[in-house]
Amino acid sequence: MTMELTVIVPILNEVDQLPRLMQTLTAQRGVEFELILVDGGSNDGTVDMIVSLRQEVPFPIQLISSERGRGLQLNAGAEKARGDTLLFLHADSLFPDQLALRQALECLAQAITTAGHDRIAGHFRLRFDHRSSDHDFGYYFWEGKARLDRPECTHGDQGFLLRKRFFNQAGHFREDLPIAEDTEFAERIRATGRWLMLSGLIMTSARRFEQEGLVERQILNALLMNFKAIDWSDFFNAARNVYQPHTAVGRLDLGQYLDLIDRLNREDGWVHALRRWYRTGYYVRSNAWQLAYLKDVKKGFKRNIAVDDIPLDALSCHDRWFDRLTDNPPGRFIAMVGTWLWFRKTKRTYCVQHKR
């Protein structure tokens, strides 16, 4: 039996989050869907809870097992899906609006009809569910960035909604990546089709940021995105614990990863290290727009402007002038030097904290 929608959620030790997930999905109105939970080896009672909860919800639940790994789990769920449309969702995401899924399906269908093809995927407007107000500006920045139709701004915590046929055409999620399989998939969607920002809001837990530290985790995430872009596989082979399950994390020791970067560069020799730094400069220069965007966000935050309505004056100026003026070898060299200086300063800061 086919379904209108299949919601696919990879899980690993989510006993605390599952009741909230079931509650937010049960509250959805005007849509027929199934839920596929793909367990990667939970040992905290998650599976037993699912068996209990499946008797209490108005939608069918498939519980399947997979090897651990988000790409593996997401693909395993898609293979079992009966829905014509797929929604890939995180276990700690919620929908404040009871019509979020109904409206999202209609928005996607209308866009497909207008375009005349189904190479369109939708993502929701992101808002972080955080307990502390210590980093309100940081969350405001990342919520705004998630609304931009730019490379590496679309991630799995925004929810991915697309037709199953387009998912198969796009090539599924990479299963060999230790991180950012969602971002890599999002960029393939951007290259072969287009992203549609849905009208609905998705609330995603900030639990990892609150456990690890927002600044530390975002610095590490930026480094990881760069290393993925320059294909530095040796780093990922040496730092297999770089993205632990949320149940296994505490305050992030950023210094250990900065030390590792230094050590690997020394072991490879200055020629390889210099090439790596230049490729990093290439990547950083292409992302310099984020500094302009940061300026716009600071103004918006100070004026208490809704994140959807932030004026993008500095970003527009960057795209019109700065990007063109720096997209050359001298511009990349300057970005390389600036990034190296930032790295040295950051390493001193975090290694002194841990007395390295």
Looking at per-residue pLDDT, the higher value among 250 and 264 belongs to 264
What end-to-end distance do the CA atoms of the chain give, in Å? 60
**55 with 74, same domain?**
yes
- As a whole number of angstroms, the distance between CA 54 and CA 62 comes to 9
Burial of 345 (0-12, 13-18, 19+ CB in 10 A): exposed
**How many CB atoms within 10 Å of residue 336?**
21
Mean pLDDT, the chain, integer: 91
**180 with 261, same domain?**
no
Q: What percent of the chain has pLDDT over 70?
A: 94
Examine the fold and report which residue of 205, 227, 262 is the final residue of a domain before the chain moves on: 205
CA distances from 302 to 24, 203, 294 (A): 33, 23, 12
**191 with 241, same domain?**
no
In the chain, the number of structural domains is 2
Q: Which residue in the block uniquely carries the two structure tokens 């919601």?
A: 7
Stretch among 79-93, 219-233, 281-295 having the lowest mean pLDDT: 219-233
DSSP H helices, the chain, are 18-26, 46-53, 70-80, 100-115, 136-145, 164-170, 181-192, 207-212, 214-229, 233-238, 254-268, 270-286, 289-302, 313-317, 323-326, 329-353
**264 with 134, same domain?**
no
- Asked if the model's pLDDT at residue 335 lies above 80, the reply is yes
**129 with 217, same domain?**
no
**315 with 218, same domain?**
yes
Could you read off the pLDDT of 148-179 as tens digits, one per residue?
999 999 999 999 999 999 999 999 999 988 78
**144 with 282, same domain?**
no
Could you read off the pLDDT of 127-154 as tens digits, one per residue?
998 876 667 899 999 999 999 999 999 9
Looking at per-residue pLDDT, the higher value among 303 and 252 belongs to 303
**135 with 215, same domain?**
no
Examine the fold and report which residue of 185, 205, 225 is the final residue of a domain before the chain moves on: 205
Could you read off the pLDDT of 107-118 as tens digits, one per residue?
999 999 999 999
Pairing type for strands 194-205 and 93-94 reads antiparallel
- Asked if the model's pLDDT at residue 246 lies above 70, the reply is no
**117 with 218, same domain?**
no
- As a whole number of angstroms, the distance between CA 233 and CA 249 comes to 23
**193 with 216, same domain?**
no
Confidence of residue 77 (pLDDT cuts 50, 70, 90): very high
**131 with 145, same domain?**
yes
Looking at per-residue pLDDT, the higher value among 206 and 325 belongs to 325
> 233 lies in which domain range?
211-353
Could you read off the pLDDT of 42-52 as tens digits, one per residue?
998 899 999 88
Stretch among 67-71, 235-239, 248-252 having the lowest mean pLDDT: 248-252
- As a whole number of angstroms, the distance between CA 336 and CA 330 comes to 10
Whole-structure pTM value: 0.92
Q: Which residue in the block uniquely carries the two structure tokens 């309100």?
A: 136
- Asked if the model's pLDDT at residue 3 lies above 90, the reply is no
Residues 6+ apart with CB under 8 A from 256: 354
pLDDT on residue 179: 80
Kindly report the CATH number assigned to the domain that includes residue 26. Answer: 3.90.550.10
Examine the fold and report which residue of 159, 181, 205 is the final residue of a domain before the chain moves on: 205
**233 with 274, same domain?**
yes
- Asked if the model's pLDDT at residue 248 lies above 60, the reply is no
- Asked if the model's pLDDT at residue 126 lies above 90, the reply is yes
